[in-house]
Amino acid sequence: MSLSLVSIFSYANCNLNSRSAIEGEQILNGHQIILCGKIETENTIHIKALVLQTSHIHELPHEVNGELAGASECCKHVVSVLLLLNRTPIADLETLSSTDVKCQWTKLRQPTLTQYKPLPVDPFDCCYKKTCEMNVDIDGETVRYG
């Protein structure tokens, strides 16, 4: 069973053009959800996820458990997890224990953050290349009247 887009947008109180929907999809496509699993109790399945903070990548990730961020709509992190649940059946999610969520960040921190390691700007074509100095053997008179 997967979540439908209609139920996601209804829950999140947003539409395709909402900021939370657009940024939530960017988070999902940017692979910033580093853990998403389920905790099953008697008649309930709780979804837990760890999502990197977009403005503080190296800080502790957001722990998403489906709670609303504000009165008007869900935050982009909740929407991104819901969109993941649209693409992934709940039955296929990893089963987590109650302590797994906190332990996973310790285990996943280094491999996750390596993809956000800063790179030097030099190899990119959009940057100015260093110019080499040239010695020109032309006197001033030739340049002026040449």
d(CA 110, CA 57): 12
Select from 79, 102, 74, 90 the least CA-distant residue to 37: 90
- List the pLDDT tens digit at each of the 146 positions of the chain: 778 899 888 888 888 899 999 999 999 998 889 889 988 888 888 888 988 887 887 778 888 885 545 555 678 999 999 999 999 998 899 898 867 666 766 666 666 667 767 777 777 767 666 666 666 667 666 666 65
Q: Exposed, middle or buried, 107 (CB in 10 Å: 0-12/13-18/19+)?
A: exposed
d(CA 105, CA 99): 11
Residue 108 confidence (pLDDT): 67
DSSP 69-114: SSSS---HHHHHHHHHHHHS-GGGSEE--TTHHHHHHHHHHHHHHH
pTM of the shown model: 0.69
